[in-house]
Amino acid sequence: MGHVFDELVEKQRAADQAHNRVDELRHTYGPPAAHKWTKQQTVTYETAVRAWRDLDRDVQSAVTEYSKERGRPRREVQADVQTAVGRAKRK
C-alpha cells in the first residue's frame, strides 16, 4: 500500500486532534490520580486515549512505510510531516 505525503499529513492532524481531546479531558476532569472520576468520565477518557494511540500508531506506521518506499530516512520524513502540520519537531 503506497502512501501519498498529503495522507501522512492528514493522519498526523487526526492524531494531533485526538491528543488534544485527551488533554482537554484531563483539564476538565483533573489528573486521573488526583480526582475521583465518575464511571462515565473514566470510559470517556479511556476511549479518547485509545483513539489517540491508535491514530498515532497508524501515522507512525505510515511514515515508516513511506520512508522505505522513497528510500529516505524516517526522521526526515517525520520532520517534513511535522513542518507540514505546522508544529515544531518533537525530540
User: What's the pLDDT tens digit per position in 2-60?
Assistant: 679 999 999 999 999 999 999 999 999 988 777 789 999 999 999 999 999 999 999 99
Could you tell me the residue ranges of all domains in the chain? 5-84
User: What's the pLDDT tens digit per position in 65-82?
Assistant: 999 999 999 999 999 999
Dihedral, CA of residue 57, residue 63, residue 65 and residue 67, to nearest 10: -160
CA–CA gap between residue 16 and residue 10 (Å, rounded): 10
